[in-house]
Amino acid sequence: MVTMDRELVAAPTPESDSQATEGRLGVLLLNLGGPENPKDVEPFLFNLFADPDIIRLPKFVSGLQKPLATLLSKRRAPQSREAYESIGGGSPIVRYTAEQARALEQALAGRGYADARAYVAMRYWYPFTEQALDEVRRDGITALVIVPLYPQFSISTSGSSLRVLQEVFASDLDVWEKITHTVVPAWYDRPGYVKSMAGLIRNELEQYTEAEKANGGLHVLFSAHGVPQSYIEAGDPYQRQIQKCVELIGDELPDDVEVHLSYQSRVGPVEWLRPYTDTMLEDLGASGVKNLVVVPISFVSEHIETLEEIDIEYRELAEENGISNWRRCPALNTDAAFIEDLAEIVEDALTEPPLSVSAACIQNNCEVEVEGLDEPQLGITENAETWNGRTAMMGLFGAFLLEVVSGKSIIRLFDSGGV
């Protein structure tokens, strides 16, 4: 167990520059990150596309990862800047995640962990994971709970961040073996999270008048970030966890509400999880749906895919197809019930057998190739990896060529808790 006696958690003392304190608790919150202003867009996109967990190339062409990332980021930067401009010039995900971290610290203090510290570790933009881990070391943390801010596990989100942690831990074993850590790989089925989401959705449903309800009933569309179908076939648990999550939240909603699930933000012409959100909106409109609450189920904070893709693009598409009473459930952000559940997640993790970074990846079919604290194993077969890489290459190069020919972008980029 990762035991942390509340009474051992005391305020740091100025005994050294590191302010090390015996028994100090740290929480590492993992997220993707996002550009905070227009000049950040292109380097952010490069970091995204340079990640082999986002674009999986076969090993025999892995040297093309960075050149491809450079090509795609330069090509996509102008269109992406326009999208960010439509929501104020940059992504609010860093601000919201920092607010979640501070709120979590307060919630943990209320549970007796007076000196607990929460750190923000972004995968593709500042503050990067490595920067957050430097803070963990300087602050003298002795027990670290790692919580991805993705309720559902995917190889390309939580898995990618955990691979970075694996590399950092392996690079300096003398330091990181002294800090006990445990991972909470997914929490999509926790009662507190489920009730938090259901509460936000009910708030939106209650805004409809009786006359509106009588005209087509009430419908809720859970829009999850998609992943390539080949990832699911290779063992990614994401789709199964999304489906179970939607089922649990749906059980908390009124009986007269009809629930739907779709997937957004697909990339290029390869097959992604279906049904697609844009197709679902067209189908719902054609079936006479008028009252629709859209729920960004993969995301715990507002970002470009909620503020631009859902609020602008999908809303326009819905209204064009006759869905006249559109509402969008807000992301959890710093919802009080959600923050309390995060604190409970941390507290529960301290009393359970620790789950290492490597073990979490193996458990969730996330490929780990780095030698480190545990013996590396492969959760995805060589054939599956090669197939994923060839599929990604064909899809991305096909998408790029179609952009060149048509002059229109068919690639959507993302900056948050989905993929």
Residue 348 belongs to a domain: no
Are the beta carbons of 294 and 329 closer than 8 angstroms?
yes
* Structural domain includes residue 300: yes
Full DSSP string of 276-335: BHHHHHHHHHHTT--EEEEEETT-SS--HIIIIIIIIIIHHHHHHTT--EEEEPPP-TT-
Domain encompassing residue 224: 191-328
CATH number (domain holding residue 282): 3.40.50.1400
In a domain, 285, yes or no: yes
Q: Mean pLDDT in runs of 10 for the chain (419 residues)?
A: 46 34 85 95 93 78 89 93 94 97 98 97 96 97 98 94 94 93 98 97 98 96 95 93 98 97 85 96 98 96 96 98 98 97 98 94 65 30 33 46 41 38
Residue 418 CB-density burial (10 A; 0-12 exposed, 13-18 middle, 19+ buried): buried
Number of domains in the chain: 1
In a domain, 177, yes or no: no
Q: What is the pLDDT of residue 23?
A: 80
For residue 40, is it within any domain?
no
Integer Cα distance of 249 and 195 in angstroms? 7
**What's the CA angle centered on 71, arms 66 and 77, to 5 degrees?**
115
**Strand order in 25-31's β-sheet?**
117-122, 25-31, 143-148, 180-183
The answer as to whether 75 is a domain residue is no
Q: Would 274 be classed as within a structural domain?
A: yes
Is 215 inside a domain boundary?
A: yes
pLDDT at position 63, please? Answer: 87
Give the pLDDT score at 2. Answer: 54
| pLDDT confidence of residue 279 | 97
DSSP 410: -
- pTM, whole model, 2 decimals? 0.83
- At residue 9, the pLDDT reads 43
